[in-house]
Chains A and B, each alone.
Chain A
Amino acid sequence: MSDEPLLVLDGVTCGYAGETVVVDATIEVGPATFTGVVGPSGSGKTTLLRAMLGTVPVRAGQVWRRPNLRMSYVPQTETVSWNFPVTVAETVLMARTRGRRLPWPSAAERTEAAELLDRLGIAELAARSIRELSGGQQQRVFLARALLARPQLILLDEPTAGVDVGTRHEVLHLLGGLHAEGLAIVLTTHDLNGMAAHLPRIVCLRGAVIADGSPRDVLTPEVLERTYGAPLEVLEHGGMLVVVDRYSRGGPLAARPRSHPRRQGARVPLRGGPGAESPGTA
């Protein structure tokens, strides 16, 4: 396998009408790498993925892609209507929109989609309407659609947003398996402890790239405070890094009664709240 990068963002500045979202981002994605992009809401994570895909205008810098690079994208599941009248198999086969003109799939396409669904453990759902799926199943369907395009690089936007711990483990395990088979993966996540800390490489983003490296290099209080704008601490537990919030004096708990078990200055693992503005739970 060539060591040539699959994709390089070189000093990329991009955004939308009148609004710059990502500034001077330089990131290289190599073959069979597994990268997590973390940062608070509005930090430009999705825009960064779109810059890689080429669906957002680049104002400065350049995006280089390996010639004939096959890339797939898995959006957040909430971006589509799951009440849409299609089955799981039809959704997966959307990956084959280009090429064949006829509305119905060929036998080869059907076989390939069935094999993929089987590999992802949802073969029995093929004929089922997508409106009947759970959150984890929806994620697998999107993943199957992305994989049907036989990508070398797959980009996932918040693949574990809104799913329970068990589903998060499933998704992480699934992605780990695909990575082990040689697929390059870039994903965005809010979940520092449940997701990002398990990845070999993390990019911290807040409009610009704050840090880029292994979890041990990147998950430091200084980098995290610059990324999230809040004081965070990093603990080590059983060889794993755990990011915890550190409430400052005068912070939200200061007004609580003295008898409250979480006193000022106590270290409290973060919870992924509704806004998910802060890093995820331990």
Chain B
Amino acid sequence: MNLLEPFSFAFFRNGLVVATLAGALCGLVGVFVTLRGMSYIGHGLSHAIFGGAAASAVLSFNFYLGAGLWGLASALAIGRITRRRIIGADAAIGVVTTASFALGLALLNRFGQARRSLDAALFGSILGVSGTDVAIVAGVTLLGVVVVVAGYRPLLFTTFDPEVAEASGVRTARVDAVLMALLAVTILATMKVLGVVLIAATLVIPPVVARMLTNRFARMLWVAAAVGAACGFVGMHASYHLDISSGAAIVLVGAVVFGTVFGLTGRGGRSRAAGPARTAPGRELAGRGP
């Protein structure tokens, strides 16, 4: 096996850069997703964006603009539902996102072209990654870093204790909206390589691995980003050499890393990783019961 062989292809070089950056970005954003107990939102949002992507394809509309607007609307709607608890948040997310996903499937079934494009959208592909895609993922990664660094304190406070953060004058609704928007943009930018179905894993596995390795929030952020980047890099090589979809390869590499760290860190690491737990209920408590 010649490890350098794929570098002779432009599509692979583009895909490798995108996968590495996407892994880092998803790891970084995923820290907030997992600590807030929002893993299901990340999963659902990727499905919701798929509806927008399919509609954009059918209408020959710009992919990023159409899917982005659709995803942003879904993200804000989910955030609003989660805060107001009109109905159970999980149920609301399930309805909004799966309906969007189903709409995307229906549109592609009815008006779409080859089955291959559907598989690529669902499970990720490196074939369609262009220079523009590389620039977009790089831009979104930079945006994610800027948001996390500039908003570190309010993001941390709102994630840990939203009720007291709000009482202390932090605009928690705005922080939540920014985070949801960043999540939506992250999913949108990385969807081509990671795929709709598997993207949620890249939001969850690196942060959970990082949590097993550290008790410090700041350290967890960069460790998760590093683990995500490494999974993306190695996963792309695996994808090429094993001839499997890039999303599947990246997630499988992540799963191996998770299993290894899980085994090596012992009970202490595992119990640390056990716990987004009460963050979400804590959020629900904010501004609720007597």
Contact = CB atoms under 8 A, between A and B. Distances in A.
Nearest to A21: B290
Contacts of B165: 94, 97
B23 to A, nearest CB: 20
Interface string A176-192: 00000000000000000
B215 A81 contact: no
A73 B217 CA distance: 23
Given A46-B289, A80-B279, A97 B163 contact: no
B188 to A, nearest CB: 26
B216 A85 contact: yes
Most buried by B among A44, A54, A79, A90: A79
B220 interface: yes
A94 B156 contact: yes
B215 A87 contact: yes
Most buried by B among A44, A71, A84: A84
A56 B289 CA distance: 10
Contacts of A50: 167, 287
B167 A97 contact: no
Contacts of B157: 94, 97
B99 interface: no
B128 interface: no
Contact of A81 (B152, B217, B277, B290): B277
B282 A79 contact: yes
Contacts of A73: 163-164, 167-168
Contacts of A66: none
A260 interface: no
A214 interface: no
B interface secondary structure, majority: helix
Contacts of A22: 290
A67 interface: no
Contacts of A46: 289-290
A241 B276 CA distance: 43
Nearest to B281: A79
B274 interface: yes
The size class of the interface chain B forms with chain A is 35 or more
B153 A55 contact: no
B90 interface: no
A131 B272 contact: yes
A129 B290 CA distance: 31
Interface residues of A, number: 43
A85 B217 CA distance: 5
A94 B290 contact: no
Interface in B144-180: 149-150, 152-154, 156-157, 159-161, 163-170
A98 interface: yes
A85 B167 contact: no
A50 B218 CA distance: 31
Interface in B208-227: 211, 214-220
A17 interface: yes
B278 A81 contact: yes
A81 B219 CA distance: 18
What are the 8 A-B residue pairs with the smallest beta carbon separation, nearest first?
Answer: A83-B275, A103-B152, A129-B215, A81-B278, A73-B167, A97-B153, A94-B157, A53-B167
19 contacts: A16-B287, A16-B289, A55-B286, A71-B167, A79-B278, A80-B282, A81-B277, A81-B278, A86-B156, A86-B217, A87-B215, A90-B156, A90-B217, A94-B156, A94-B160, A94-B164, A97-B157, A98-B170, A145-B164
Interface of B: 35, 84-85, 149-150, 152-154, 156-157, 159-161, 163-170, 211, 214-220, 271-272, 274-279, 282, 285-290
